[in-house]
Structure 1
Amino acid sequence: MNEFKRHRRLRTSAAMRALVRETQLSTDDLIYPIFVIEGENVRREVPSMPGVYQVSLEHLSEEMDKLVELGIRSVLLFGIPKEKDEQGTQAYCETGIVQQALRKIKQEFPELITIADTCLCEYTSHGHCGVIHDGDVDNDASLPLHVETAISQAKAGADIIAPSNMMDGFVAAIREGLDNAGFKHIPIMSYAVKYASAYYGPFRDAADSTPQFGDRKTYQMDPSNRMEAFREAASDMEEGADFLIVKPAMSYLDIMREVKDRFNAPLVAYNVSGEYSMVKAAAQNGWINERELVMEKLTSMKRAGADLIVTYFAKDVAKWLKEE
């Protein structure tokens, strides 16, 4: 019999498998999204996202304490205002809910990395990510509002600005605005590759950001397109992005791998709400082993090239990693 390769030699025990493991998932890789809502004494579970809550400022410290205890060092903040208007003015208001949350976190938990989602969709009455003219989002008219939002977030203590609006030129505009306002040291984590995805549904419940008309397909990417992703990422890198996000993660691991291979910047996978809710629903029905499936999913993102992962599973994963 001809000699053949004995690949199973490196799988003979748990210790052996750990010794040769190529991809490692760490608590340091995790970014936890938080939905901060205006109001008093609010801690409201999102119906489509079990275990995820909208929290008012009174409950924010409690939430941060849990994260610090688990070893999670980074949070991504989304705001839900009481009042919305066509211009999304609460997004860049000095006393806006995200600005208040940023100040509170930096005062009480200065060691945490605070990342501010920079968009208008949670703040506009129409639910779109910019200013509406003639029934569509006006790209160039929207940019100054995103710049103003980024500057207000930086002033409030954001360590990283994460613009998610997908307007052309948004990184260049925000970089120039931050620099001119004295924030040259603040990095931009760009939602460079953001597809118009059906996986975002539960997030829109959590952030109260469902478009009131139409959809976001004129500014978010067509899921069928691959090369377009690299054009988007290249533009953002040229304009001054410091991190690149691929969103969603699971259905776009091929894109993630190629973005990592093509661009020399930290890559962030966004494990989005729909991916979270599907797993939770299946787990609640007893159809899957939630822990094993989640760890496999997030490891696949790391294997595909992600340096960091935004995930609603962050607290669960941190607990599981401590138990290993």
Structure 2
Amino acid sequence: MTSRRTFLVLSGLSALAAAGCGTASGSGIRNTKTLRYQGSAGAVTPPELAASLGHLDDLKLDWVGNTISGPQDIQSAASGQTDFGGAFNGAVVKLAARKAPIKAVISYYGSDRYAYSGFYVAQKSAVRTPRDLIGKKVGMNTLGAHHEAMLDIYLRKNGLSRAEAEQVERIVVPPVNTEQSLRQGQIDVAVLGGVLRDKALETGGIRPLFTDYQLRGAFSAGTYVFTGRFIEQNPQTVRTFVTGVGRALDWSRTTPREEVVAKMTEIVARRKRNESPDALKYWRSYGVSAPGGRIARKELSDWAGWLTERGDIKSGQVSVADLFTNEFNTGTKKAGS
């Protein structure tokens, strides 16, 4: 499986170019009954939950490996190595700016009072203010995505200039190693979310500098994407997937937490991927508050603005209106987007 994940990363760019040149012309409607995807070790994604709850009808999920990086996951979908992928909305905008033929169809994670990412330091750390971060190392799972965006917003909001902010070093650390790297002094700040955050807090000896929920309040942060070609060829498949995932998100939000955790633990035990279900006991929320995971335009346009300010994309390079759709989300009443 490791070689499979390596292949996905290395082949992504070349396959992406080929996918961008393809069209659905002449290929017709096929509505596949199987979707290839990447998962996450020791966790249950909304599509996996939807499948277990029976919300995907006869649509099957084909797990091809795990990913720890949203940008890599959506690149794999854009290149045709998988059928769908999910990432922070800023990463979705950035990939679209590279002419990737992708379209966001449903939100799948976000930030709320239960599901959030925090920037943590050692209890005795001298880092207490934004300016204290200058010259320090911040460990996060990937660059140019959710956590780096939150760091940039935090620094800018607190008066640091662009030049000063650039002196805050961003280090890529696998999520499962981030807490250990902080405790061993290899990094000064660790970005921790979900079960990894709660396990670290339970151990003690760390304190939050800030969290994304404190910074921006509740918001949906990431979306699942398909390529435009896949959607054209498989409209009913996409409708089944989106509606089913939306129903699973709603179920997870309205069902007692203990029941949701029990279902997730059952899923992990049944799939036999040589992983531990222990972290699931800390699960509290996916962080998606919009009914059915419907996408609001602002959830993508905000990050298009952030990327433009950083110089990563040019103003107007991406049409946000063309980048997402709620058309296939039939599980909830249509809301303004």
Q: Same fold by TM (over 0.5)?
A: no
Q: TM-score, normalised by structure 2?
A: 0.28
Relative contact order (alpha carbons < 8 A, sep ≥ 6): 1 or 2 greater? 2
